Amino acid sequence: MIVRAGGVDSLNMRLDRDVDVLITSPPYLQAQEYIRSFKLELAWLGYGDRLTELARREIPYNNPPSVKVNSEAYARVREEVRRLDHERLLEIYDAYFRSLVHFLDNNHGRVGRVIAIFVGPTKIRNIRVPIDEVLREHLESLGWRHEVTLVDRIVSRRLFKVDKNPATGLKDERTPTEHLLIMSKN
Ligand SMILES: C[S@@+](CC[C@H](N)C(=O)[O-])C[C@H]1O[C@@H](n2cnc3c(N)ncnc32)[C@H](O)[C@@H]1O
């Protein structure tokens, strides 16, 4: 997905024609803050006056409608996140899945054959969030069939390994795998 400064936000996006395949790579929960990381580049490209708007629309720091996420994994992990007693983390968790589900709800009807989604099972604190499982369950509730989930181990992009994450003090364990969820139409 790309946030174009012209205002294209995947939450407002509707496919304007039928397609065979939808492939997307949404953010991996709060693993990256894209707008903050690329502030300078965006300013150089002439979008400096729109940074606030872009940041406000960025998943999962945005404010999506409270659509229903049809997934037991979502509810199970949400309960674990809720027990952390950290309001902002729970908001991020909900905003993330509501955003993705809202986009899929709005667009899956125009997809004829395959929906493919790249995601990594990122962590919130020490809770691993099975993003692809949540999306699989939700798409199944919309009538899609799970074809396969391809798993790639991320090794090449790690520059160094530390025992503890200096920011959180927790055991350092970056997203170890990247998953490609492939769903097909029943
Ligand atoms: C994992 S990256 C995928 C990047 C993509 N494969 C590419 O080459 O541009 C997730 C992307 O989703 C974008 N994003 C975040 N919130 C969005 C939104 N509301 N609408 C559209 N894209 C969004 C991020 O800025 C980031 O570029």
Could you tell me the distance, in angstroms and rounded to a whole number, from the CA of residue 3 to the centre of ligand 1?
6
**What does the alpha-carbon distance between residue 51 and residue 38 come to, in Å, rounded to a whole number?**
10
Report residue 26: phi and psi, to 5°. Answer: -75, 170
Query: pLDDT digit string (tens) for 149-179?
Result: 999 987 755 555 666 666 666 666 566 799 9
**Residue 86: both structure tokens together:** 């950290």
- Per-residue pLDDT reduced to its tens digit, 104-116: 999 999 999 999 9
Band (pLDDT 50/70/90 cuts) for residue 7 is low
pLDDT at 1: 46
CA dihedral over 157, 57, 113, 185, signed as positive or negative: positive
Between residues 1 and 140, the one the model is more confident about? 140
Phi, psi of 174 (to 5 degrees): -75, 170
The pLDDT value recorded for residue 154 is: 75
Distance 35 CA to ligand 1 centre (A): 10
Report which residue type is found at 97: F
* pLDDT tens per residue, range 29-43: 988 889 999 999 999
Does pLDDT of 3 surpass 50? no
CA-proximal residue: ligand 1, atom 2 (nearest): 27
pLDDT for residue 121: 85
Pocket of ligand 1 (CB under 6 A): 1-3, 9-11, 25-27, 34, 57-59, 62
**How remote is the CA of residue 144 from the centroid of ligand 1, in Å?**
24
